[in-house]
Structure 1
């Protein structure tokens, strides 16, 4: 299904300065497409938005996490002290240390944590929680931890199988994500449907354990001031996970779900689109999130315009 793309205009002093184009799809609780804009059937790399699906795969492979540890295993954390300490505890619980992580050393992505950091480290890389969970899954199964990030490792084979089941699609391509783990390509529609399945699953199932853990610990999923954290705190029952290069997926508690991809990869277009979708679904802008609905465009440190959503969907 290919239609007119969504547009997010950057307006400065009532002049359209630039435009971000992309696609979005909203699926109903039964998985049918409720409305869409742009190409939502061609495969793409969802980047970190696929972490909840990987989390389900790890549980199916015997990972014993729940609650905070499971939320951090599905996170793109900010590298704040609480994040790093908990990742260290996850590794220690598996009899490992940060040297076992296959993710590259990086500075934290959280602004305050980044300023306070002395040097790039593996454990402050935003995907270190996922990698710690992957390692713990390997230890639980007696699998080799060396090379756990390789596509033919038993862990990654299980995760690929789970992604295909949850999205209802065959993986179109396998790449290497920024954290070194395999990255699976599928459509935005498959991504939305998978999030709907997570929130609608029966309590206690692996899918629901992931959704419940992330919604109960939104700060661990992202961090202070981050959009995923703010959205999950403000909208009851909402599950949200963003990804690099302009990707966001979220689901309401009833199973209605949305996937967004910005073509130029600019993440600033994601929040206003998410808020526009929520408004179309009858959820008015929650208190304290108006800056997400209409992010200001600054000039000289003062608001000179805003980001505006433009779309044409049935």
Structure 2
């Protein structure tokens, strides 16, 4: 098996203190590998980076049209949001149109990552609800599809029609038979594939014809980057930095994807250590390499050649991309 390649380096003064490694693949519209680092055949769980694939049946089934879903709702179906008011207000409104309450979710409550939202809960002596879960938009999508299919309430069960539809979509776009699944943080199954398969799927999204379900989803993400993640987050800031020309999505344990419609390319990468900073540095570096992201944009500089400061705001080192990615 090919070993992971260096992704990112931590320098403290003149000393190389640590190195993050990982695997990355860039695919073209034919599903062929344009460039790769590490092992393209490495089997991975894409985690939340697969949300736009899980949202495909929402459109292809006719459920999105039947329920009049907007581009904002489609972006939320692909989101790992901060739980800010701009996210929870929209998800709650969506649930109201379905005639459902917070109890219908199966994602579990989560403290919002958005500080004003968390402080508002504390001041009100309230506990977080399931709508604050970063995956509540995806689950609202599952519930919309479930209403269309007439399934039972346990829509996260792997054998439920909703999840069978997600698996079919996953295997179609990755062009692989999934070897299995793990249960994600939001309790839904997360299907496995190779890293090449995931990059192939993202290139499929990038090259899909206008009006297709794939284009509707990545276009919604690019139109509403603030709904896909939130303020301060890499997905939101880097999509804005590229003027909405590229769709980005992070996943837990150091995963990241990119969909580049103009170039008809897809990227998938996995930091072997599962570290977010390594994945963010790597995706920013590859986007700069491909000429779609300005290396000097402030959003880029937070993640590539980024200063590391201490509690006195003294610069103590830098987070740099490994030479092989540049």
Q: Shorter-chain TM-score: which interval?
A: over 0.9
Secondary structure of the structure 2 residue equivalent to 1:123: helix
Deviation at 1:4, TM superposition (A): 5.2
2:287 aligned with 1:287, yes or no? no
Q: Which residue of 2 aligns with 1:296?
A: 307
Residue pairs, 1:32-181, within 5 angstroms: 32-64=32-64, 65-118=69-122, 119-144=127-152, 146-181=153-188
Select 1:275's aligned residue among 284, 304, 314: 284
The whole-number CA distance in structure 2 between the counterparts of 1:128 and 1:20 is 31
Which whole-Å deviations, capped at 9, do the CAs of 1:196-238 have from their partners, x for residues lacking one? 2112211211111111111111110001111111111111420
User: 1:130: Cα distance to partner?
Assistant: 0.5
TM-aligned CA deviation for residue 311 of structure 1: 4.6
Change (3 A) 1:108 1:263: same
Q: Distance in 2 between matches of 1:113 and 1:40?
A: 40
> Contact (CA 8 Å) 2:58, 2:144: kept in 1 or not?
no
CA distance in 2, matches of 1:141, 1:4: 42
Corresponding position: 1:239 with 2:247: yes
What secondary structure is seen at the aligned counterpart in 1 of 2:131? coil
2 CA distance for matches of 1:176 and 1:159?
A: 14
Summarize deviations over 1:182-205 as a string: whole Å, max 9, x none: 110011111112112112211211
Deviation at 1:120, TM superposition (A): 2.8
Contact 1:36 1:313 in 2 (8 A): no
> Per-residue displacement from partner, 1:80-121 (whole Å, max 9, x unpaired)?
001000010111111101110001111012344334433232
Q: Does 1:193 align with 2:200?
A: yes
Q: CA deviation at 1:128?
A: 0.6
Q: Which runs of no fewer than 5 residues in structure 1 stay unpaired? A: none
Contact 1:21 1:262 in 2 (8 A): yes
Q: Report whether the alignment pairs 1:208 with 2:212.
A: no
Residue 219 (structure 1) aligned with residue 212 (structure 2): no
Structure 1, 283-292 or 68-77: larger mean CA deviation = 283-292
Distance 1:234 1:173 in 2: 36
1:49-78 superposed Cα distances (whole Å, 9 cap, x missing partner): 000101112222332124000100110000
Most deviating of 74-83 and 274-283: 274-283
Q: Secondary structure of 1:149's partner?
A: coil
Identify if the C-alpha distance between structure 1 residues 298 and 255 changes in structure 2 by more than 3 Å, giving closer, same or farther: same
Answer with 250-259 or 150-159: which moved more.
Answer: 250-259
Instruction: Work out the CA distance in 2 between the residues paired with 1:256 and 1:286.
Output: 23
Equivalent pair of 2:4/2:21 in contact (CA under 8 Å): no
3-state SS, counterpart of residue 2 of structure 1 = coil
User: Of 263, 274, 284, which aligns to 1:265?
Assistant: 274
SS of corresponding position for 1:308: strand
Counting only pairs closer than 5 Å after superposition, residues 244-259 of structure 1 correspond to structure 2 as 244-253=252-261, 254-259=263-268
